[in-house]
Amino acid sequence: MLLSWSGGKDAAWTLHRLRQRDDVEVVGLVTTITAGDERVSMQGIRVEVLHAQARAAGLEVIEARIPAGVDNAGYEVAFADALLRAQVRWPGVSTIAFGDLLLADIRAWREALCARLGWRPLFPLFDADTGALARAMQAGGLRAIVCCVDTRQLDPAFAGRDFDAALLAALPAGIDPCGEHGEFHTCVHAGPMFAQPLGLVRGRTVLRDARFAYTDVSLRG
């Protein structure tokens, strides 16, 4: 099967969970890249960091490239093309896993899209207690940096922080511990899904679209 990979904690933990099962095998990753920016869409993770994550996970990544500001129709075309290229690379693969946790409307949209494309979606973490899940990730060795904050929901000062117990304790009431409502996004650099940790350096934080505070994260050296 494939795994939809954002570079963040939920996708990474999904990979870890899937590798603990003996009835499935993850053969590759699919990631949406905003062309021109050369960054993972939403997360804002640099492509070179994405590729370092894939190497650490021992998996190839198929890029679905979209222009900035693309609508759903354009996204679906790029996603469908990525799945076709994946089937050329791994004949017979027809299942893709997603790291969604709670949002039923997003799950339903993915299910409908996959049905149209002839793929079976899988949601290994869906309906999890996000507070318990966040603590399990941290206890299990996952390490991540908050790389994007939606400033309409959360103070931009959270951008660039480690995703750790101190961050969970500091989150205001109403903010999901896993950022499932888009409050924040993360960039994973270590954990049981990686053969070795990534050396990452935090850069400056910038505000984009008058809303999203992105902390630039790059490879050390």
pLDDT in tens, 168-213: 999 999 999 999 999 999 999 999 999 999 999 999 999 999 999 9
pLDDT digits (tens, 9 = 90+) for 89-101: 999 999 999 999 9
What mean pLDDT comes out for the span 67-80? 93
Enter the pTM of the model. 0.96
> Alpha carbon of 60 to those of 63, 86, 156: distances in Å?
10, 10, 33
Within the chain, all domains assigned CATH 3.40.50.620 are found at 2-122
Q: Which two tokens stand for residue 107?
A: 């799950």
pLDDT digits (tens, 9 = 90+) for 137-154: 999 999 999 999 999 999
pLDDT of 219 strictly over 80: yes
Q: Where are the alpha helices (DSSP H) in 90-217?
A: 104-117, 130-139, 165-170
- DSSP 8-state class, residue 162: B
Q: Which CATH number fits domain 2-122: 3.40.50.720, 3.40.190.10, 3.40.50.620, 3.30.310.50?
A: 3.40.50.620
3-class DSSP state for residue 141? coil
Residues 6+ apart with CB under 8 A from 214: 44, 147, 148, 159, 205, 206, 207, 208
As a whole-number percent, the residues of the chain with pLDDT over 90 amount to 96
User: What pLDDT was estimated at residue 36?
Assistant: 87
